[in-house]
Amino acid sequence: MRLCVLLLLLVLLSFTSAASVPRPSSDRYPINRRPQTFTTRNVTSTSDTLSLNIDPDIVNPVCGGIYEANINIQTAPDPFYLSKFCQNVLGYIGGPKGDKDVDVIFACTGFSTSGIGTRDVKIIFNTQANSAIDAGKTGTQLIPANMQLVSEKDNVFYSSEVNIGVKRNSGNGDVAFQHIYC
């Protein structure tokens, strides 16, 4: 009987030592690790810019004006780093080397447009009528705008805030709308 109890204690003791895992001391890891909350990866990664070129440049556009242009991709980062709107625009235009013939419409607040244009694909910019351009600055300046990409034939409607890259010619004062930054 004593032998059975002794064997049982020996088996339990060996099982206990094998199943136990020592805990690290609290001073060994000074950083307090807390569980992190997870977010969708694409929500936090919209950090890169899609650059679209307007060809030809639109010089001194008027509110309500409609201009025929070709929109092509100037720089296209990995779509993972773009917002959903920019991913949609990139895909619709045709990928990193794509381009589309469009009507560019400047629809300023309080002004009506001068028609509907001749092309199916339209890019509509809603800007303030008096967007400030610094006459003393050289290089590209950014004007905030709301951009809508519309195609009735393809049943497409995308809308988001963008920046329009403009350059002022200091010699004659012309303002050329050259790029769209999404």
Distance CA 158, CA 173 (A): 33
Q: How far is CA 42 from CA 4, 47, 81, 143, 182, in A?
A: 63, 10, 7, 26, 16
DSSP label at 79? G
Per-residue model confidence as pLDDT tens digits over 73-132: 999 888 888 999 999 999 999 988 999 999 999 887 766 666 778 899 999 998 876 666
Under 8 Å between Cβ of 118 and 54: no
Structural domain includes residue 126: yes
Can you give the pTM of this predicted structure?
A: 0.69
What confidence score (pLDDT) does residue 39 get? 42
Structural domain includes residue 87: yes
Structural domain includes residue 78: yes
Per-residue model confidence as pLDDT tens digits over 17-48: 554 555 555 554 455 554 444 444 444 445 67
What confidence score (pLDDT) does residue 150 get? 93
Which range among 33-37, 84-88, 135-139, 165-169 shows the weakest confidence by mean pLDDT? Answer: 33-37
Distance CA 125, CA 67 (A): 12
How many domains does the chain divide into?
Answer: 1
What confidence score (pLDDT) does residue 133 get? 72
Distance CA 53, CA 181 (A): 9
Domain that holds residue 168: 49-181
Structural domain includes residue 95: yes
Structural domain includes residue 10: no
Structural domain includes residue 4: no
Mean pLDDT value across residues 3-10: 61
What confidence score (pLDDT) does residue 12 get? 58
Structural domain includes residue 90: yes
Structural domain includes residue 29: no
pLDDT of 13 higher than 60: no
Q: Could you identify the residue written with the tokens 């300046």?
A: 141
Tokens of 69: 């242009």
